Chain A
C-alpha cells in the first residue's frame, strides 16, 4: 500500500488527472461493450420496429448539429472572401489561413454577458432568438441533400419550407417588441415589413415551377431534373429564378436588402438590446438562412444533387476485399509503407538539403492525400449519396459565394426603395411569370 501511495504522491497534477481519467474511461468503455453485448439485440429490434421515429430523431439531431459547422464555415467565408475582394488578407492568425477564427468568435460570444434590459419581457426576450433560429433550422428537414439523404420527404415540402421559414418573422417581431427599446421596436417592425413583403414574390415565383413539376415534394422536384443539365428548371423558369434569388436575398436579410440588421450602422435593428449568445443565435440564424436559401435555390432551379451531365462511361467497382483473406491484412500493413516511400523519393531526389525525416513526412502526407483522394473517388463512383452530396454542396456553396460576393459589392438600399422594388417590380413580375407559365402549360398540354 505504501508503494502505491508513494508512487501516487510522486505524480504531477497532469499525471494524476491522466491516471484518474484513463481507468474511468476504460471502465466506461468496457461497460458500453458489455451493454451492447447483452442488450444489443433487443435495442436493435426496438429501433427497427420504430424506424420512422428513429429516422426523425437522427435527422433532427444531425441537422441541428450540422448548422454549427455550416455557420462557422459561412462566417469564415464571409470574412475571408470580402477581405480578399477589398484587397485585404483577412483573417490569417487563428488556424490555417485563419480558418478557426469563427470558432474563436463563437467562444467569444459564449463568454459575453447575457444581458436582459430592465423593462423587457424576459420570456419573449429569451425565446425570440430560439424562434428565429429554429425557424431557419427546421426548414432544413425537407431539403434533399442526396438520393435518400433528407430529413423527411413531404409531399407538401415546399409549402412546409415557406410556412416554417415565414415563422422567423415572428422571432424578429418578438425580439423587437420585447426589448423595451424604440429602436428595437422600429427595427423589428421594419424587418417584419420587409420579410413579409418579400415572402409574396418569393412564394409566387416558385408557383410556376410547381405547375411545371406537378409536385411540391422537393425530392420529387430534384428527381424531375435528372439527366442533362438542360432539364434544370432554371432554363424553363429564368424569370422565376431571378425573382426567387432577389427575394431570397431580402428574405435572408442579406446585402443589399439587409436593413433589418445593418452591420455597418450603429443601431442593430431588432437586435439592438441583444448580447452574448442570444445575439449569437440571431447571427447563426442569418448564416444558416444563407445556406438554406442557397440549398433551396439549388434544389429548385439547379438540379439539386444531380450531376450536370450523366457520366458517359458508367463505372462500377466490384471490390471484394474480404475475398483476399489473410493477404488483405498484409496489404493493409504494407501498402501505406510502400506509398509513403514512393511519395518520399521525389523529396530525396529534389534536394540533398532535405533531411530524410522531412522527406518521409512529406511522403506520408502526400500518400495520405492520395489515399483519401482514392477513397473519395471510389465512394463517388460506388455510392450514390456521396456523389449527390458532393454535387449538392458544390452547387450550394457557389450560391453561398454569390451571396457573399453580393455583400462585398452592393450598397444597401433605402427602405422606400426596398418596398417599391418588392411591390412595384417583383410582385408584377412574379405574377407575369406565373401566368405565362400557366398559359404555356395549357398550350403545350392541349
Chain B
C-alpha cells in the first residue's frame, strides 16, 4: 500500500508500456526453428557401430550424470570379463535406499554384483596412503595401482572407492577412459607367460627329436628352415 493512491496503477501501466517496446519472445515456429539447446541429447538410445556391436562401454557416466537417477544399467565390460552394474537391482525399496546411499556419497552395496577375485589389498592401501586418500588424485592413484599390480583389479578399484569415498562408477569411468589403464594383465605379459609355460615341453620334444636323428637336426636346422622353431637348451 503506497502512500499515494493509484501509484500502483501508474507503475503497472509503466511496466506494460516498457514491455510494449521490448523485443518479443514469440518464435514463429514453422518458419523459424531454434537450434536445440547444446546439452539436448534427444531420446536416449544405445548405438551400434558398423560391425553391429554396441558402442556402449558401460562407463556409467550417463547414469552418474542423470539428475533424477532414472538410468539403471548393467552388463559386461568391454572386454567381456566381468559384470558391472549401476542402479537399482529390482525393487523400488532397494532403489530408494540406494539413492539415499548414493546421495550421501557412500558406495552403493550391489547385491547383483558378482563376487570378484579377492586379492591382497595392502599394496592399494599403501598407494592410497601415499596420496592421502584424496580422490582429486584419482588418476595418479590408478596409475600407481596399475604399476603395482600390472593392471587394475576390480577388488582394488572397490577398495579405492571405499577409502577415497569416490563413487565406484566415477573411478570406473576414469579408469576406462584412459587407454593406458587396463583391467586385466597386459597381453604382452600374459603371452610371455603362456610362451614360458610351453617352453619346457618344447625343449624336451626338440631334445628327443635331436637324439632320434643323431644330432643332424641341430646341425641342419637353424638358419635354413625358418618355419621350425629353433631349439634352445
Contacts and interface: CB of A to CB of B under 8 A. Distances in A.
A409 B16 contact: yes
A410 interface: yes
A87 interface: yes
B22 interface: yes
B12 A410 contact: yes
B17 interface: yes
Contacts of A88: 24-26
A168 to B, nearest CB: 26
A406 B24 contact: no
Interface string A379-422: 00000000000000000000000000110111000000000000
A84 interface: yes
Interface residues of A, number: 13
B19 A85 contact: yes
28 contacts: A81-B20, A84-B24, A85-B16, A85-B17, A85-B19, A85-B20, A86-B19, A87-B22, A87-B24, A87-B25, A87-B26, A88-B24, A88-B25, A88-B26, A89-B24, A89-B26, A89-B28, A92-B28, A405-B13, A405-B16, A405-B17, A409-B9, A409-B12, A409-B13, A409-B15, A409-B16, A410-B9, A410-B12
Contacts of A81: 20
Contacts of A92: 28
Contacts of B19: 84-87
B13 A406 contact: yes
A88 B27 CA distance: 9
Contacts of B12: 409-410
Nearest to B10: A409
Contacts of A87: 19, 22, 24-26
Interface of B: 9, 12-13, 15-17, 19-20, 22, 24-26, 28
Interface string A336-353: 000000000000000000
Q: Which of A81, A84, A85, A406 has the most CB of B within 10 A?
A: A85
B110 to A, nearest CB: 51
A87 B15 CA distance: 12
Given A84-B24, A87-B22, A92-B28, 15 more contacts: A81-B20, A84-B19, A84-B20, A85-B16, A85-B20, A87-B19, A87-B25, A87-B26, A88-B25, A89-B24, A405-B17, A406-B13, A409-B9, A409-B16, A410-B9
A408 to B, nearest CB: 5
Contacts of A85: 16-17, 19-20
Contacts of B9: 409-410
A406 B25 CA distance: 22
Nearest to B14: A409
Contacts of B16: 85, 405, 408-409
A410 B17 CA distance: 12
A88 B28 CA distance: 10
Nearest to A408: B16
Contacts of B15: 409
Nearest to A242: B6
Contacts of A84: 19-20, 24
Interface in A44-102: 81, 84-89, 92
Contacts of A86: 19
Nearest to A85: B16
Contacts of A408: 16
A75 B17 CA distance: 19
Q: Which of B22, B25, B26, B28 has the most CB of A within 10 A?
A: B26
B134 to A, nearest CB: 50
A84 B22 CA distance: 8
A85 B13 CA distance: 10
A409 B19 CA distance: 11
A86 B13 CA distance: 12
A406 B12 CA distance: 9
B141 to A, nearest CB: 53
A98 to B, nearest CB: 12
A241 to B, nearest CB: 14
A92 B2 CA distance: 40
A85 B17 CA distance: 7
Q: Which 7 A-B pairs have the closest CB atoms?
A: A89-B26, A85-B16, A409-B16, A409-B12, A85-B20, A87-B25, A85-B19
B12 to A, nearest CB: 5
A160 B19 CA distance: 40
Nearest to B19: A85
A92 to B, nearest CB: 8
Nearest to B13: A409
Nearest to B22: A87
A82 to B, nearest CB: 9
A88 B15 CA distance: 15
Nearest to B17: A405
A87 B16 CA distance: 9
B205 to A, nearest CB: 87
Contacts of A406: 13
A81 B20 CA distance: 7
A63 to B, nearest CB: 31
B135 to A, nearest CB: 47
Nearest to B21: A84
A92 B17 CA distance: 21
A92 B30 CA distance: 14
B163 to A, nearest CB: 55
Contacts of B25: 87-88
A86 B26 CA distance: 10
Contacts of B28: 89, 92
Nearest to A256: B9
A126 B28 CA distance: 42
A405 B13 CA distance: 7
A405 B26 CA distance: 20
A244 B26 CA distance: 37
A23 B28 CA distance: 47
Contacts of B17: 85, 405
A68 B44 CA distance: 56
A92 B24 CA distance: 13
